[in-house]
């Protein structure tokens, strides 16, 4: 039985609509099946980036994030993201201004120039995985499964921003997380254990040092392959793009080839809920996960 989920606005961020819109499609399929609102509020913009902009100018980062929070406050809705970076930025900015009167005053002075004011009344900011685990529940997700993904072994990649800073995110153990693994297993798939599970995808360093990012990818891919995984499941669009591109880069630099389809958590859930590969844009993944699924007798 699915419990009533707090009314939320879907925050898509920049990367998903611009580069991998099929993730938006799978997320909306899953949310519709579970009765979760997917309204995107007019006025939402870049979160902004939780690393680059914050490091360059924290006041700008806070003001840009707060403008998004104001949009949600005006609609009296919590925010649900598909991106770990967006969730971290918006949740951290909200926490900063709730805890610091000085920061709130400074940000509101900036926001006043565009006719907005942060009040601190936002119901919540959560990544979709947190909503699924805490508000929908693993048992309710199991009830929705029409096509169990039995025999399909996946390597879950949490990424750097999903669990940290843990004192603000407050979702799972940042060193030994288990909750999203439960969501994966609810689909019938196996979430394999592997030694480099908590290793960064390399996205953050890839622009500055592609060689370091590619070396990190090689280490992670070897660990995933050794564990017998047939695909990678991510929670973040930047991780998705890096782990796809990293396979090409690893082959070019080191001559080692890995064929590991990358799926967002919502892709996995949508498939288990019975949605077709065409419906959620499975053909746009590189490599296409359909072959790995068919290898274990799952037709999509």
Going from N- to C-terminal start, the domains of the chain cover 8-128, 146-295
Answer whether 114's CB lies under 8 Å from 67's CB: yes
For residue 2, pLDDT over 80 is answered with: no
Q: Tens digit of pLDDT for each residue in 242-290?
A: 999 999 999 999 999 999 999 999 999 999 999 999 999 999 999 999 9
For residue 166, pLDDT over 70 is answered with: yes
* Dist CA 289 CA 264 (whole Å): 11
- 262-264 and 231-234: which strand pairing? parallel
For residue 1, pLDDT over 70 is answered with: no
For residue 3, pLDDT over 80 is answered with: no
For residue 55, pLDDT over 80 is answered with: no
- What b/e string do you get for 25-59 counting C-beta neighbours within 10 Å, with b at 16 or more? bbbbbbbebbebebeeeeebeebbbbbebbeeeee
Average pLDDT over residues 31-36: 96
Token pair in block for residue 14: 């920049």
- What's the whole-number average pLDDT of the chain? 95
- 146-295 topology per CATH: Rossmann fold (3.40.50)
What class is the 8-128 domain? mainly alpha
Per-residue DSSP letters for 202-258? SHHHHTT-HHHHHHHHHHHHHHHHHTT-SEEEES-HHHHHHHHHHHHHHHHHH----
Q: What is the pTM of this model?
A: 0.96
Q: Which residues pair with 263 in a beta bridge?
A: 233
What is the CB neighbour count within 10 angstroms for residue 212?
Answer: 12
């Amino acid at each position: 039985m699915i419990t009533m989920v707090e009314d939320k606005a879907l925050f898509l961020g920049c990367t998903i609509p611009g580069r991998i819109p099929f993730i938006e499609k799978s997320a909306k399929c899953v949310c519709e099946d579970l009765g979760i609102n997917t309204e995107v509020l007019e006025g939402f913009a870049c979160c902004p980036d939780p690393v680059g902009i914050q490091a360059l100018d924290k006041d700008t980062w806070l003001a840009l994030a707060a403008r998004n929070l104001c949009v949600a406050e005006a609609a009296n809705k919590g925010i649900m993201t598909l991106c770990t970076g967006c969730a971290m930025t918006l949740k951290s900015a909200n926490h900063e201004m709730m805890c610091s009167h000085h920061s709130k005053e400074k940000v509101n002075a900036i926001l006043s120039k565009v006719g907005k004011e942060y009040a601190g009344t936002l119901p919540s900011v959560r990544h979709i995985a947190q909503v699924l685990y805490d508000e929908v529940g693993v048992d309710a997700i199991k009830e929705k499964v029409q096509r169990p993904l039995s025999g399909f072994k996946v390597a879950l990649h949490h990424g750097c921003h999903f669990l940290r800073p843990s004192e603000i995110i407050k979702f799972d153990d940042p060193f030994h997380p288990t909750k999203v693994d439960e969501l994966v297993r609810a689909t019938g798939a196996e979430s394999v254990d592997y030694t480099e599970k908590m290793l960064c995808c390399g996205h953050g360093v890839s622009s500055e040092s592609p060689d370091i990012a590619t070396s990190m990818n090689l280490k992670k891919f070897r660990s995933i392959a050794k564990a017998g995984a047939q695909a990678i499941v991510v929670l973040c669009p930047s991780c998705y793009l890096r782990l796809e591109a990293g396979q090409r880069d690893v082959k070019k630099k080191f001559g080692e080839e890995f064929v590991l389809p990358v799926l967002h958590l919502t892709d996995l859930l949508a498939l288990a809920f019975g949605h077709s590969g065409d419906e959620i844009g499975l053909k746009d993944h590189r490599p296409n996960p359909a072959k790995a699924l068919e290898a274990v007798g799952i037709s999509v």
